[in-house]
Amino acid sequence: MNNGDNTAIFSTDIGVIALNGSVKIKILDFLKTGCKSFDEIVQHTGKAKSTISVHLNDLKSQNLLEEAIDSKDKRKKVYYLRCQYVACSQEPGMKHYNEMLDLISSPDVHSFGCLKCLFHAIQYGFRAHGVNCDPIMRKIGNDIGNSLSNNITSQEPASILQEMLNFWENNDIGSFTILEDDPIKLAVNNFFDCRSIPIKEKTLCSFAQGVLEGVFRAKMGKECVMQMVCKCDDTCDHCIFQMIKL
């Protein structure tokens, strides 16, 4: 994401906001993966606490982020996004887009599934034209997860997870492994064949994140964030998400 002085555009409940402050943009980028504490934000940005405090207040006043009490320590606060990152000129992704188009034009497209390749191409296409689709895909994932929850009858987390796993595998969505029960921690594998498509940059993590959040919010009746707890790239085998209840 943009760490320089270029403008990044964010969509909020009250309209579109353009930012050109590198620290603010870095903070919002850091919050893409989930809730972060004040100390984590300070450490990530390398700025003074007083500076970060001012930036957080500014971002909150613009409806770009929100704060909540840390469920693990009532004396502390955590911060999470209230906006969607729309565009930044430093993230074109044209190389990956062209690679995806080459794959679609080759006989290999049948081995991966034409519709899945088209789905990936659309995401790479957004990036190729300067649009970061991650927050949009997360929001769409939330809506899809909310709809998918109608196919799940359970209300308890363990039973919800088992029904989700069966549904994903039966419908060729992907699979996941339960790493921990409390808090819920999952390793999501090959979501919509994202590991099989021979393009280096992965784009579906935010979509999977949104789907999981949508299902859990609908079935448990509580706000939660599925925080990504590791960097996802072409060297890892799965995306790891951990639930944070708000």
pLDDT score of 37:
93
Instruction: Give which of 99, 161, 158 is closest to 128, Cα–Cα.
Output: 99
Spell out the alpha helix ranges (H) of 105-170.
109-112, 114-128, 134-148, 157-170
Give the start-to-end residue ranges of the domains of the chain.
8-86, 94-131, 133-245
pLDDT score of 213:
93
pLDDT score of 145:
92
Provide the phi-psi class of 192: left if phi over 0, else alpha when psi is between -120 and 50, else beta. Answer: left
Q: Which of 5-14, 31-40, 113-122, 222-231 holds the top average pLDDT? A: 31-40
Report how far residue 171's alpha carbon sits from residue 153's, in angstroms, rounded to the nearest whole number. 17
Report how far residue 89's alpha carbon sits from residue 1's, in angstroms, rounded to the nearest whole number. 9
pLDDT band at 2 (very low <50, low <70, confident <90, very high): very low
What length is written for the chain?
A: 246
- Give tens-digit pLDDT for 177-207: 999 988 899 998 877 767 667 665 555 788 8
Whether the pLDDT of residue 242 is over 80: the answer is: yes
Same fold flag, 8-86 and 133-245: no
* pTM reported for the whole predicted model: 0.62
The residue with greater pLDDT, 146 or 239, is 146
**E strands within 13-132?**
15-19, 36-37, 65-70, 73-81, 84-88
- Give tens-digit pLDDT for 132-165: 777 788 889 999 999 999 989 988 888 999 999 9
Q: Yes or no: is domain 8-86 CATH 1.10.10.10?
A: yes
Whether the pLDDT of residue 96 is over 70: the answer is: yes
CATH architecture of 133-245: 2-Layer Sandwich (3.30)
Q: What is the mean pLDDT of the chain?
A: 83
